[in-house]
Amino acid sequence: MSSSDSQIINVLRRKYPARGMVDLGNPADTLLATLLSARTRDEQVLKIFPAFRKKFPDFSRLAQADIRQIETSISTIGLYKAKAKAIKGLAQKIVKDYHGRVPKTFEELISLPGVGRKTANCVLSYAFGVPAVAVDTHVFRVVRRLGWSKKSDPEKV
């Protein structure tokens, strides 16, 4: 990360000190809520999340769950079938490869089913305090309009 990147992150942190809506205070909840929030409003995810976590309190329960149970638990949010499949695969990999703990590096996070750059950066930033910016379509558009980047690829932005 360049010094200008760090400066931008510090300015944004001072300007917007509140936690993100899916920053739920621990890596597991933050990872799951962020994954569930893809193409779904955070408010909708937060409505179903407590019951979801009560039913599946840890990754080993999610890894062993029938996919239909996961689907039923998240059926009110968008893309719930694909998200259920990703969550089950993610949980299995976390249990097998990371002893039930959310990995702490970008490379490890994006190796998990359903986790892309944005989710990985959210988890790194929220759960582990790593300076990272999640570039979604909105951030991408604003950064380009402000002239902070002329790049046409979110990864380069």
Q: State the catalytic residues.
A: 118, 136
Quickly list DSSP for 88-111: HHHHHHHHHHHTTS---SHHHHHT
Neighbours of 87 (CB within 10 A): 29
Chain CA centroid to CA 71, Å: 18
Cα 41 to Cα 67: distance, rounded to the nearest angstrom: 23
